[in-house]
A and B are shown apart, each in its own frame.
Chain A
Amino acid sequence: MLRFVLRRLLWFAITLFVVVTISFFLMRSVRGGPFDGERALNEAVERNIQARYHLDWPLWKQYLQYVGPVNLGDTGPEMLGGDGSDPFTGILVFDFGPSFKYRDFTVNDIIGQSLPISVSLGTIALLWALVLGLSAGIASALWRGSGADVTLRLAATTGIALPNFTVAGFLVIFFVFLIPVLPVAGYGSWKHLILPGFALGAPFAAYIARLTRTGMLEVLSQDYIRTAHAKGLPPRLVILRHAIKGGLLPVVSYLGPATAGILTGSLVIERIFAIPGTGSHFVNSALNRDYTLAMGVTILYTVLVYGLNTLVDFAYTLLDPRIELEDS
C-alpha cells in the first residue's frame, strides 16, 4: 500500500518536472514577449518591466526562481543577499508568479477566482454524465436487443460522435429559443450552469452508457448471478446487490480519463457560454502570450489529472479484490 503510494508520488514528481521544464524553456525561447504591444515601450519602462519579471536574469536563474522554493531576488533570504522579507517563492510553494497580462493580479489570484467556477461546472457535468450514462447503460443491458436498447445505443454512439460545442448549439436552440427557460450565457446563478454542464457531460454520458452496458452484460452471464436467481432472490435485488457492483468496474476505471476530458472540454464550453472559469483563462492566456498564466494552468491541470487518476486506481483496487496494488 505504502509502496504503491510512494511509487506513484515518485512518478508524479518526475512527470511534473518534465512538464514544468519543457513548458518553461519553450515559453522563454519564444521570440516576442507579452510586452511587445502595439506601441514600442520607452527604454526605461522596458527595463523596469524586465527587472520586475526577472527577464534580465540568465535563463537558469529564472528557471530556479520559477521552480523555487528559494527566492533569489531582492526580497530573498539574507544568506543570498536579500532583505529576508519573502524568502520563499516559486511553484514548489504554490506560487505561480505574477501574470504577464493582468499586471495587478498574480496567477494565484486569477486561478483562485476562476477555479471554483470550473470545479462546479465540471462536477455538474460529471454527475450528470454518471447518472444518465449509468441508467441508460443498465437499462440497455437489461432489455438487451429490444427497441429501447437499440435506441439508447444509437444515441450513445451519436453522443460520442458529436463535438461538445455542437451539442451546446443544439441545446441553446432548444432551451433558450424554442422553450425559453434557461439563460443563454454568462455566469451568476445555478441556472447558468445547467446547459453548459449538460453539453460538457454529454459525450461522457454516452461513453459511460456503452461501458456500463458491456460490463453489465458480462456480469449478467456469470454463474453467481444464475445462483442468485436460483436461490429465489427477486430480480431487482439480484441486479442491485450482485450485478451492479461487478458491472460498474469498467466505469470506475474510466472516471480518470473522463475527468481529464471534462477539464479539456471546459475550454470550449466556458468560451461558448461566457463562463469566467479557468479554461477560458487558459485559452486567452495562450493567445495573449501570458505565459506565466498559461503555465500555471497547465501545471494545475496536470496535478488535477494525475491526482484524480491515482485516486481512481486506488478506488478500483478497493472495489475489485482480484487486482493488487502493483503499479504496472
Chain B
Amino acid sequence: MAKGLPNSGFDLGGRELEELAAEAARFKGESLWQDAWRRLRGNRTAWWSFVFLLGFTALALFAPILPLPSPVSLDLQLEPQPPVPPWETFGRSGFAPEYWELSSLDQLLVDARVGLFADWQTGPWLGTDGKGRDLLSRIVWGSRTSILVALAAALCSLAIGVTYGAVAGFLGGRIDNLMMRIVDILYSIPFIFLVIFLITIVNEYRAELEDGWGIDRETVFYVVIGAVYWLTMARVVRGQVLSLRNQEFVEAARVLGASTARIVFVHLVPNVLSIVIVYLTLTIPAVMLFEAFLSFLGLGIEPPKVSWGLLAVDGSEMVNPVKLYWWLVVFPAAAMGATLLALNLLGDGLRDALDPKLRGKD
C-alpha cells in the first residue's frame, strides 16, 4: 500500500512512509474525557474531594452491613449522652435489628450484618441524642436518605432541563422564544412558596397516592424538587445547543436524513454533556440544602426515617439555655458541611477540567 504520494514532487518510498506512520502512532490522541480525567487528577483539591465523596457514598451504601447500632432503637435516658471515644469503648453487645420498613436489598444486608457480627455493635463514639439513639448510626443512615434525595432530584432536573433546553435551542425562533419566556416567568416565582404549598396539598392526598398509584410521598418529594431545579439547566443547555446547531456536523446529519429527535439526542446532547455534568455537581449540593430546609420545616423526610436535615433540626432543637449538647449540633453539621464542601470543590474542579476556558471564573 505504501506508494509515493501522487504528484507530490517528493518521492516517498514505502520505508519512509512506514517510519512516518510509526512516528505518528507514538503520539496518542487524547479524547476530551481522557484530557479532563488527567486534569482532574492533577487538581489535588478536586481529586481528594472526589475520593472523599466516593468513600462516603460507599459508607452510605453499605450502612446496613456495618456493625452500627440501630438508628431508631430507643433507649430512654434523661438526657443525651456525650461522645465516648473509640479508645475507651470500642464496641459493646446489645444490638437489636430495629429499622423502619426497609427495601428487600437493605433487609438482605441487615441479615448479613446480623450473621457477621451477631449482636456486637460500635460504642457511642459520637454520643446519643435525646432519645438515646446512636448519633453515628443516625448520621450514616441519614446520609443514605440525603444522597438518594440529591441524586434522584438531580437526575429529575437533568432529564427535564436537558430535554427542554435542547429542544428549545434546536428549534429556535418563535418556539424557542416562547419556551424561554416560560422559563423566565418560572424564574421570577419564589418557588419555595409554591413547593411548600404543593407539598402540603400532596400531604392531604397521600393515602390515595400510596394505595391507588403506588406513589409514596418521597417520590413526589423528589419530583417536586427536581421540577424546581431544572430551570438553570435548561438555560445552559439551550445556550450551548444554540451555538452548536449551525455547525457542519449537524448539517451533515441532516443531509444524511436524520430526524430532529435523532439530531437533538444523538448528536447535540453528547456535545453539551460536559457542561451538564458541571452543573449537575453544583445542583446536587443545592438539592441537599433544600432537602435539609424542607425537613427543617417539617415538610421533608418524616421520622422514623432519618436525613441530615432532620438531624440538624434535632440538634438545633436541643440548643437550650440549661445545658449544651454540642455534639448534636457539631457532628451532623460537620458531616453535611464536609460533603457539601467536597461537592462544591469537585464541581469547581470538574469545570476547570472540562472547560479550561472557564478556569478561575465563577
Contact = CB atoms under 8 A, between A and B. Distances in A.
Contact of A163 (B192, B289, B319, B345): B289
Interface residues of B, number: 45
B265 interface: no
Contact of A166 (B200, B312, B326): B312
Contact of A161 (B188, B192, B197, B285): B285
B85 to A, nearest CB: 21
Interface stretch (B56-64, B246-254, B336-344): B336-344
Contacts of B188: 11, 15, 302, 305-306, 309
A113 interface: no
A271 B190 contact: no
B324 interface: yes
Contacts of B315: 169
A158 interface: yes
A161 B289 CA distance: 8
B296 interface: yes
Given A163-B312, A176-B321, A214 B361 contact: yes
Given A158-B337, A267-B297, A286 B196 contact: yes
A157 B360 contact: no
A250 B361 CA distance: 11
Contacts of A286: 196-197, 200
Contacts of A165: 292, 296, 312-313, 316
Contacts of A169: 312, 315-316, 319, 329, 333
B296 A268 contact: yes
Interface stretch (A18-26, A42-50, A231-239): A18-26
Given A264-B190, A306-B188, A309-B188, A30 B319 contact: no
Contact of A173 (B193, B194, B326, B343): B326
A25 to B, nearest CB: 11
B344 A26 contact: no
B362 A214 contact: yes
B192 A264 contact: yes
B202 to A, nearest CB: 10
Contact of B329 (A11, A14, A173, A283): A173
Given A23-B197, A272-B316, A170 B362 contact: no
Interface in B183-204: 184-185, 188-190, 192-194, 196-198, 200-201, 204
A36 to B, nearest CB: 10
A170 B196 contact: no
Interface residues of A, number: 55
Given A14-B185, A264-B190, A297-B193, A157 B297 contact: no
A162 interface: yes
B185 A287 contact: no
A18 B200 contact: no
Interface in B311-362: 312-313, 315-316, 319, 321, 324, 326, 329-330, 332-333, 336-337, 340-341, 343-345, 360-362
Contacts of A22: 194
Given A161-B340, A162-B336, A210-B362, A301 B316 contact: no
A184 B198 contact: no
Nearest to A166: B333
Count chain B CB atoms within 10 A of each CB in A161, A165, A217, A264 and give the residue with the most: A161
A232 B298 CA distance: 61
Contact of A158 (B196, B293, B341): B341
B362 A173 contact: no
B285 A172 contact: no
A170 B330 CA distance: 8
A150 to B, nearest CB: 10
Contact of A15 (B189, B197, B313, B343): B189
Contact of A268 (B205, B297, B345): B297
A31 interface: yes
Contacts of B337: 158, 161-162, 166
Interface string A165-182: 110111011001100000
B30 to A, nearest CB: 29
Given A298-B194, A298-B197, A302-B189, A166 B297 contact: no
Contacts of A162: 333, 336-337, 340
Interface in B114-153: none
Count chain B CB atoms within 10 A of each CB in A162, A260, A302 and give the residue with the most: A162
Interface string A74-106: 000000000000000000000000000000000
A302 B185 CA distance: 11
Interface string A247-284: 00010000000001001100110011000000000110
B345 A157 contact: yes
Contacts of B319: 169, 172-173, 184
B197 A294 contact: yes
Nearest to B290: A163
Interface in A4-38: 11, 14-15, 18-19, 22-23, 26-27, 29-32
A163 B336 contact: yes
Interface string A285-306: 0110100001001100110011
Given A166-B337, A170-B329, A250-B362, 10 more contacts: A11-B185, A23-B197, A30-B204, A161-B285, A166-B316, A169-B329, A170-B330, A170-B333, A264-B192, A272-B316
20 contacts: A14-B185, A18-B185, A19-B194, A22-B194, A23-B194, A158-B341, A161-B340, A163-B336, A165-B292, A165-B312, A165-B313, A166-B336, A173-B329, A260-B190, A282-B196, A287-B298, A294-B197, A297-B193, A302-B190, A305-B188
Complex A-B, nearest 4 residue pairs according to Cβ-Cβ distance, in ascending order: A161-B340, A166-B333, A298-B193, A169-B329
